[in-house]
Amino acid sequence: MVGQAYKYNSNIKTAGRKSNPYLTKEIMEASQEKLLLKTYDFAIVHCKKGDHRKANQAIDVLMNGLDLQYEIARELYSLYVFCKEQMVEGNHEIACEILTSLKESWITAFNKEKIAV
């Protein structure tokens, strides 16, 4: 499986906020691929807004989901570190471009995997 470098934890924590039951249900039933793409979407949206705290939180989720026994995961980790640094330095566009490109690559990989099955 293409996404085997990722291992998502399905535990949802709301940090004291009221949770939206529909969103919670959607997330709990989502595939690993969909969760990965939603995390990228969240990071990209907050990069575009210039909100480095929320963008970096999403990047942390991407980093924590990596299985570092794979070379590709270690390379992604390095890219995520770079994106976080760029967000802190105010270079939101660079981080956004990298994350958008990575998301598009995942979509391509997922689509190719579905065709091969």
Instruction: Give the tens place of pLDDT for each residue, 60-114.
Output: 999 999 999 999 999 999 999 999 999 999 999 999 999 999 999 999 999 987 7
* Phi, psi (degrees; rounded to nearest 5) at 91: -90, 60
Q: What is the pTM of this model?
A: 0.77
Annotate 48-80 with DSSP letters as a single string: HHT-HHHHHHHHHHHHHTB-TTSHHHHHHHHHH
Q: Residue 31 class from Cβ within 10 Å (0-12 exposed, 13-18 middle, 19+ buried)? A: exposed
CA distance 101 to 90: 19
pLDDT at 87: 92
DSSP state of 19: P
